[in-house]
């Protein structure tokens, strides 16, 4: 019985340490189905998302959901610590509970207490290892507890640095494409320029942003649950706007603008598909058409004003449809999982950017210069 317990303890110890290694240290995506961290997030997110449905206010619901990302990290660290302490308690018990505790007989509760004080390096002195094997287990756990704490402390700045870099570009999108960002609004605000050079450069910048987000979020998938500062912004909405504009330019643009759109579309679609794979999210077709035929006409007109069009013909329409089928189901799957809405194409919508809002009122009303319909300047 004690031998089986020792084997179980060693297997659980290896599984926990390997899970922490893959999550914190390994800079590579892990798609294996059976992982402690994957079970943890599937279970806790289902509960947390279910509770969010009880909130009637959208703002309260978003606030509740925004707590999950940071709080889940703390809960994950706590879960790992509990598993490690329980594992070493099993090893102590399987070694014959070679522990001395004044006034009481040694039991499994004593082993668990010994494991807890050792893991957190408390050194209270009321329990001490008596046998050589117990001393080896105690020293190993003390070193592991110290190393675990050091790794966690080093992990948080790295992850929050990646989150900050992501949010910087999303915040910059506010003035360029509205909040939530949309393809039509991005084109509308770039139609003031004589040629498509500014828009092409902007897509080049977003090609880099997409690559950075893919690298960081595949290494640290928990970042997908971190929500943006404002309720009408998200990394998923930013991806949607950029993919929509890129698909439009691939279908109808020409020369350098089309080439850059192809590059941005490729890395952005790559990132979305890989994130679905890591989070175990299946693509789900959107039940309605995000861009009906009448709206597509207006979007093409905006593309003409940006000086980025080639031929707006049936071949372009077919190409746009094919491109949308390559990314919209994946975006919708992520939207349903993370409870982050996908923005529309922005046709006929009105926008007031976040920079025009404050706790004391708005400096621009819905009919002011922040609206989307037909204004020559959004400032």
- The listed CATH number (1.10.1060.10, 2.60.40.10, 1.10.287.70, 3.30.300.30) that belongs to domain 2-154: 1.10.287.70
pLDDT recorded at residue 339? 93
pTM: 0.83
Domain ranges of the chain: 2-154, 159-356
Q: Which parts of the chain register pLDDT below 50?
A: 362-377
pLDDT recorded at residue 233? 87
The tokens for 124 are 């209270």
Q: Is 220 left (phi over 0), alpha (psi -120 to 50) or beta?
A: beta
Residue 338: exposure state from Cβ atoms within 10 A (0-12, 13-18, ≥19): buried
The tokens for 206 are 């977003």
pLDDT recorded at residue 315? 81
User: Distance of alpha carbon 53 from its chain centroid, rounded?
Assistant: 21
3-state SS of 124-176 is: CCCEEECCHHHHHHHHHHHHHHHHHHHHHHHHHHHHHHHHHHHHHHHHHHHHH
The phi and psi torsions of 320 (rounded to 5 degrees) equal: -60, -40
pLDDT recorded at residue 52? 92
Distances (CA, A) of 317 to 229, 302, 323: 36, 15, 10
Q: What gap in Å lies between CA 336 and CA 75, rounded to an integer?
A: 23
Q: What gap in Å lies between CA 86 and CA 82, rounded to an integer?
A: 6
pLDDT recorded at residue 232? 82
pLDDT recorded at residue 332? 96
pLDDT recorded at residue 204? 92
Q: Is the dihedral of CA 299, 304, 308, 312 positive or negative?
A: positive
Q: What gap in Å lies between CA 207 and CA 211, rounded to an integer?
A: 6
pLDDT recorded at residue 311? 65
């Amino acid at each position: 019985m004690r031998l089986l317990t020792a084997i179980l303890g060693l297997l659980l110890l290896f599984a926990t340490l390997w899970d922490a290694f893959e999550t914190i240290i390994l800079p590579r995506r892990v798609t294996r189905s059976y992982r402690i961290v994957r079970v943890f997030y599937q279970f806790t997110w289902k509960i947390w998302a279910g509770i969010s449905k009880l909130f009637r206010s959208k703002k309260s619901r978003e606030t509740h959901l925004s707590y999950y990302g940071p709080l889940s990290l703390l809960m994950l660290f706590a879960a790992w610590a509990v598993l490690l302490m329980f594992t070493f308690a099993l090893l102590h018990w399987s070694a014959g509970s070679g522990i001395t505790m004044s006034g009481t007989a040694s039991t499994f509760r004593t082993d668990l207490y010994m494991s807890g004080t050792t893991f957190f390096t408390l050194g209270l002195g009321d329990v001490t290892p008596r046998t050589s094997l117990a001393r080896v287990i105690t020293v190993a756990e003390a070193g592991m507890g110290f190393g675990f704490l050091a790794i966690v402390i080093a992990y948080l700045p790295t992850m929050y640095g990646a989150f900050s870099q992501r949010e910087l570009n999303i915040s910059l999108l506010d003035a360029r494409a509205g909040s939530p960002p949309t393809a039509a609004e991005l084109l509308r605000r770039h139609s003031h320029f004589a040629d498509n050079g500014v828009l092409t450069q902007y897509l080049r910048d977003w090609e880099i942003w997409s690559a950075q987000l893919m690298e960081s979020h595949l290494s640290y998938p928990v970042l997908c649950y971190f929500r943006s500062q404002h309720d009408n912004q998200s990394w998923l909405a930013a991806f949607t706007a950029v993919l929509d504009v890129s698909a439009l330019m691939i279908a109808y643009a020409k020369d350098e603008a089309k080439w850059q759109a192809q590059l941005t579309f490729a890395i952005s679609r790559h990132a979305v598909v890989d994130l679905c794979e890591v989070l175990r999210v299946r693509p789900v077709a959107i039940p309605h058409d995000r861009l009906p035929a009448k709206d597509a006409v207006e979007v093409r007109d905006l593309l003409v004003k940006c000086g980025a069009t080639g031929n707006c013909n049936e071949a372009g329409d077919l190409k746009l449809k094919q491109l949308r089928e390559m990314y919209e189901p994946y975006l919708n799957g992520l939207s349903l999982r993370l409870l982050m809405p996908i923005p529309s194409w922005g046709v006929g919508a009105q926008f007031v950017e976040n920079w025009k809002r404050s706790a004391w009122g708005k400096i621009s009303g819905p009919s002011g210069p922040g609206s989307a319909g037909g204004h020559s300047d959004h400032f």
